[in-house]
Amino acid sequence: MVVIDDHPAILSGVEMWYSASPRLITVVAAGASVREAWTAPGSTADVVVLDLQLGETVPAFSSLRRLVDADRPQLSTREENVLIEWFQSESKELVAQRLGISVRTVNSYLDRVRIKYANVGRPARTKASLVARAVQDGLVDVDDL
């Protein structure tokens, strides 16, 4: 977990509260800004507790969004559609039929997706690893598979 708050008392209190939790919550990083806390080892955290104001009058979502999106590939809408359809289908042939494209085109879209994941340092060579990446990135929910 990463804790981000620009008030030292709040930051210390939240960090201590989670660290003392009997549920094995590990605070891997804490800081007064997104940039300070969301770098190694904070970049490995699964959960972020964020002060939405961070001393500003508007929420600081944009800073966090930029850092989170940095390791996510920018997939086109069609690439996402083909990927999700493939996850929910028995074969690439069925995907092609449902989307009105050729199997070769399905393969091209899937190859592009794999290349984009590799380019951001998150290779996904198999269908299982692509499913894992898509779930991690919020493209698909496990219940939808």
Tell me the residue range of the domain where 81 lies.
Answer: 77-144
Q: Mapping DSSP to helix (H, G, I), strand (E, B) and coil, where does residue 139 land? A: coil
Q: Are residues 116 and 97 in the same domain?
A: yes
User: Model pTM?
Assistant: 0.57
Q: Are residues 47 and 83 in the same domain?
A: no
> How far is residue 25's CA from residue 137's CA, in Å, rounded to a whole number?
22
Q: What is the domain-level CATH number for residue 136?
A: 1.10.10
Looking at 69, 88, 117, which one is the last position of a domain?
A: 69
Q: Are residues 83 and 131 in the same domain?
A: yes
The whole-number pLDDT of residue 100 equals 97
Query: Phi, psi at residue 31, to the nearest 5°?
Result: -170, 170
The whole-number pLDDT of residue 145 equals 75
Looking at 69, 89, 105, which one is the last position of a domain?
A: 69
Q: Are residues 30 and 53 in the same domain?
A: yes
15 closest CA partner among 42, 44, 53, 40: 42
The whole-number pLDDT of residue 97 equals 97
Q: Mapping DSSP to helix (H, G, I), strand (E, B) and coil, where does residue 39 land? A: coil
Q: Are residues 50 and 17 in the same domain?
A: yes
The whole-number pLDDT of residue 117 equals 94
Q: Are residues 83 and 140 in the same domain?
A: yes
Residues of the chain with pLDDT under 70: 55-70
State CA 60 to chain mean position distance: 18
The total number of structural domains in the chain stands at 2
